[in-house]
Amino acid sequence: MAVLAYSLGKREINQHFTIKNAKLISLAAVLLLLVFHITSRYYGGRDSCEWLLSRGRYLGEDVWQPYGCMMHKYKSIEAKTCLAEKRVAFVGDSRIRQLFYSFVKIIDSERKEEGNKHEDISFEDKSYSINVDFLWYPEANNSMKERLISWTHEASAKPDVIILGAATWSIKLHGGSAEALQQYRVNLTAIVGHLVKLAEHGEVYWVLQDPVNEEVLSENRKMITNQQLELYNEAAVDVLNSSKRNGKSRVRLMAASRQAALETIIKSDDGLHLPESTRNGAMILMNSVCNKILRPIDGSCCQTLRPPNLLQKLSACFFLGSAVVFVVFHLLGNSRHRRHVPPDVESLEEKKPATAAVPLGPKAPFQALCRMGIIMGYFYLCDRADMFMKEQKFYTHSTFFIPLIYIFVLGVFYSENSKEAKLLNREQTDEWKGWMQLVILIYHISGASAFIPVYMHVRVLVAAYLFQTGYGHFSFFWLKGDFGLYRVCQVLFRLNFLVLVLCVVMDRPYQFYYFVPLVTFWFVVIYTTMAMWPQILQKTANSGGMWHFGVLAKLLGLLMFICFFAFSQGVFERVFSVWPISKLFELNGSIHEWWFRWKLDRFVMIHGMLFAFIYLVLQKCQVLLEGKGDGLFSAKISNLLLFLSVVSFITYSIWASSCKTKTECNEMHPYISVVQILAFILIRNIPGYARSIYSSFFAWFGKISLELFICQYHIWLAADTKGILVLIPGNPSLNIMVSTFIFVCVAHEISLITNDLAQVVIPKDSMALLKRLGAMGILSLIVLLVSRVSQPTPGV
């Protein structure tokens, strides 16, 4: 009865929730979200600078998250570069002095909080001509006004950035009287005009008062209450907002540090001053001042939109042109297209039609390009336009492990009988790719790379993908012997189409999407190894056992080739730094990232090839028992291998947990990752019942794993993977659910578009294919030349 209910439940879900319906829902959601964000920007009138300065929340205990944007953590060299030849002035009381010291410590971490308490303090970095001064003005009075007037008259001494704040001394000296508050308002009114003049040629910030911990205040400060501070803050906001022009105040109010202090003032020793570890104001200020200058990719607050470069404009014209042609074909009534492929109700997979598909008509490629253009527009809005919000990642064990448990429960719920029980059959490899991809996605969005044990296990998953590359392509060439140009171009197109489009639309280098260059490189290596003389295939090896040693000799030669490059970094860098090859492997002008990625998993592909060879030979010799329900080996051997596999899993996890640094772990990874991969294969395949079932849920994701991996960069994560895309602000859980739903639908649609275009771009006729390749070569050369004159994308 339970099994029947389980089966009926799955069927009921899938009958009403097909992938087509899901895509329609996601399209409607995107349109509604666009309307929401455009309306909120138009009527709310706030930009990311105001978000940064006005509000936010804590992620954990000490990571401040501004509302709707990402805050970059500035290093000393970055701060010096930004503030070179600038003067910064902090004007106010002891709280502003604290802010001054925190700001200076970003520039020079060795600077100590020393100097007389009630005097001016100066900091200078002569190498960068940076001057940062603290000026002791504990009250907003005539003395402060005179200082501001002097700056308006002396252009040479005028600071580029001014940060002011005062109130506690006014409360303390006058006992929190109503007359003192009224005088504070009058004094600010007299000052604000001069602040506005200074803001015309620089940046001026007024810092609202942080709360106090009234319980630990000394007796002579007991009159400084949170109620009094709130009244003074209200007065400052009223006066400064009265100076607004066109709805915006030239003098910026800094309220975010006050909101942060609401949660951290309890840690204060004296109840008035925040401990150094909880001061976020200086980093908020640095982001407000420097983000628009340095434009760090993970600092989206206060950044203005970068205009699209020439290639991006040309790509937009290309997609628009394709849409126009599609509309013309549609109006002319040219509708010849492939027959619709019905979805499988149970697994949401597309069944292969029983009869041959109708050839694609002339309208079909333009329709595919039109769909791709709409999707690329969404990519651009998510990660290049100031449309949606972004937030930084923050790792906790719950943000990684709870979603992990959830998806594995879903995976088990959608378990089905497999069509065959062979080792690593197609359904099983799709399942393997699917659950690995989902784990990697959770790993990325949760920021779990900060936790070394998780980092190392995910490194094994990436290695397992490359293992499958070696296994799959070796098996194909060994069994089929198809080394034709059509096959090669089909593989390369399906691997690279989306990435090449994103390189143009998102203005990113090819190496940025590191996994695709890695898989492409190893495919070319496998193809070259198998295609070069002598071509040894299974049918060749069947004629004589010595041919098997020929395959092993080829693999040994490939291993020596890999070892030579792995231990000759200079040679490696010289080879891959040659133009135009360097355009494929450079990231930010260096091939260091490519060297790191290549070296990290340099052996696993050859492990996959060797495993495929051994398995196919054993299968041919009928050594393995691959019937449904049969153990892969005899009972004794199966139990021994299962025991060793479980022990290796546990041993690896203990080792990964004991690693102190990623560098230490990565040194060992190329040599031991294969043990974990083989252990999983054996555990998954030795028991006959395990080979006879698979998860259609994981297998569905496995079919679009490449698209999922690439699309996450811009429409699930944000700021080129540094942050998280925020479609629904204020509700992180709902935001993740909605953005994930749209992201998966987009990835699936791109997979279909790639398959459609592959049929058009890669014809089976050899002469037509050569002509296409020639045209693509010329187009690639033009793109390379245009990219040289286009504005490069700076990053920090």
**Tens digit of each residue's pLDDT (9 = 90 or more) over 599-649:** 999 999 999 999 999 999 998 888 888 888 788 888 899 999 999 999 998
pLDDT band of 339, cuts 50, 70, 90? very low
Segment 324-328 shows an average pLDDT of: 91
- Average pLDDT over the chain, rounded to an integer: 88
Angle at 381 between CA 379 and CA 387, to 5 degrees: 150
pLDDT band of 342, cuts 50, 70, 90? very low
Segment 252-274 shows an average pLDDT of: 90
In this prediction, residue 480 carries a pLDDT of 92
Q: SS3 string of 604-618?
A: HHHHHHHHHHHHHHH
C-alpha distances (whole Å) from 238 to each of 145, 251, 439, 466 are 18, 12, 51, 62
What span, in angstroms and rounded, lies between the C-alpha atoms of 679 and 268?
A: 53
In this prediction, residue 351 carries a pLDDT of 40
In the predicted structure, residue 13 carries a pLDDT above the cut 80: no
Share of the chain above pLDDT 70, in %: 91
Task: Considering the candidates 174, 273, 330, 337, report the single residue annotated as catalytic.
Answer: 273
CB contact burial 81-96 (16+ within 10 A = b; e otherwise):
ebbeebbbbbbbbebb
Spatial CA neighbour of 607 closest among 479, 514, 474, 517: 474
pLDDT band of 23, cuts 50, 70, 90? very high
Q: Is 120 a catalytic residue?
A: no
Name the token pair of 184: 């504070």
In this prediction, residue 705 carries a pLDDT of 95
Name the token pair of 276: 């150094």
In the predicted structure, residue 239 carries a pLDDT above the cut 70: yes
Give how far the C-alpha of residue 352 lies from the chain's centroid of Cα atoms, to the nearest Å. 35
Q: Pairing mode, if any, of strands 130-136 and 121-125?
A: antiparallel
What span, in angstroms and rounded, lies between the C-alpha atoms of 275 and 269?
A: 8
What span, in angstroms and rounded, lies between the C-alpha atoms of 10 and 3?
A: 11
What span, in angstroms and rounded, lies between the C-alpha atoms of 510 and 216?
A: 58
In the predicted structure, residue 717 carries a pLDDT above the cut 70: yes
3 state SS of 130? strand
What span, in angstroms and rounded, lies between the C-alpha atoms of 646 and 641?
A: 9
In the predicted structure, residue 509 carries a pLDDT above the cut 80: yes
Q: Which amino acid does the sequence have at 659?
A: C
In this prediction, residue 280 carries a pLDDT of 86
Asked if 349 contacts 700 with a C-beta cutoff of 8 angstroms, the reply is yes
Considering just the CA atoms, what is the radius of gyration of the chain in Å?
A: 31
For 93-146, write each residue's pLDDT tens digit: 999 999 999 999 999 988 887 767 789 999 999 999 999 999 999 999 999 999
Average the pLDDT over each of 515-519, 551-555, 584-588, 735-739 and give the range with the smallest value: 584-588
Segment 316-326 shows an average pLDDT of: 94
CB-based contacts of 602: which residues, under 8 Å, 6+ apart? Answer: 562, 565, 566, 670
pLDDT band of 9, cuts 50, 70, 90? low
Neighbours of 137 (CB within 10 A): 23
In this prediction, residue 562 carries a pLDDT of 95
Asked if 406 contacts 675 with a C-beta cutoff of 8 angstroms, the reply is no
- Please tell me which of 43-57, 492-506, 620-634 the model is most confident about, judged by mean pLDDT: 492-506
- Length reported for the chain: 796
Average the pLDDT over each of 152-161, 633-642, 751-760 and give the range with the smallest value: 152-161
Asked if 501 contacts 376 with a C-beta cutoff of 8 angstroms, the reply is yes
Asked if 216 contacts 268 with a C-beta cutoff of 8 angstroms, the reply is yes
Is the omega angle on the peptide bond into residue 517 within 30 degrees of 0, that is, cis? no
Task: Considering the candidates 76, 94, 638, 787, report the single residue annotated as catalytic.
Answer: 94
C-alpha distances (whole Å) from 332 to each of 325, 328, 363 are 11, 6, 10
3 state SS of 108? coil
In this prediction, residue 794 carries a pLDDT of 40
Name the token pair of 282: 């200086």
C-alpha distances (whole Å) from 630 to each of 156, 421, 618, 689 are 87, 9, 16, 8
Task: Considering the candidates 270, 335, 397, 780, report the single residue annotated as catalytic.
Answer: 270
In this prediction, residue 340 carries a pLDDT of 43
Q: Is 270 a catalytic residue?
A: yes
pLDDT band of 330, cuts 50, 70, 90? confident
What span, in angstroms and rounded, lies between the C-alpha atoms of 226 and 786?
A: 60
Maximum alpha-carbon separation in the chain: 105
pLDDT band of 768, cuts 50, 70, 90? confident
Segment 248-271 shows an average pLDDT of: 87
End-to-end CA distance of the chain: 60
Q: SS3 string of 134-162?
A: EEECCCCCHHHHHHHHHHHHCHHHCCCEE
For 264-289, write each residue's pLDDT tens digit: 888 888 989 888 777 788 999 999 99
Segment 374-396 shows an average pLDDT of: 93
For 400-422, write each residue's pLDDT tens digit: 999 999 999 999 999 999 988 89
Cα atoms found within 13 Å of the Cα of residue 143, Cβ hemisphere only: 9
Segment 296-309 shows an average pLDDT of: 88
In the predicted structure, residue 561 carries a pLDDT above the cut 60: yes
What is the CATH number assigned to the segment(s) 85-272? 3.40.50.1110
In the predicted structure, residue 247 carries a pLDDT above the cut 60: no
Residue spans of the domains in the chain: they are 85-272, 388-764
Asked if 148 contacts 195 with a C-beta cutoff of 8 angstroms, the reply is yes
What span, in angstroms and rounded, lies between the C-alpha atoms of 268 and 348?
A: 58
Q: Pairing mode, if any, of strands 63-66 and 130-136?
A: unpaired
DSSP designation for 218:
-
Segment 649-669 shows an average pLDDT of: 91
Asked if 106 contacts 74 with a C-beta cutoff of 8 angstroms, the reply is yes
In this prediction, residue 632 carries a pLDDT of 86
* Phi/psi at 588 (5° precision): 55, 40
Share of the chain above pLDDT 90, in %: 65
In this prediction, residue 115 carries a pLDDT of 67
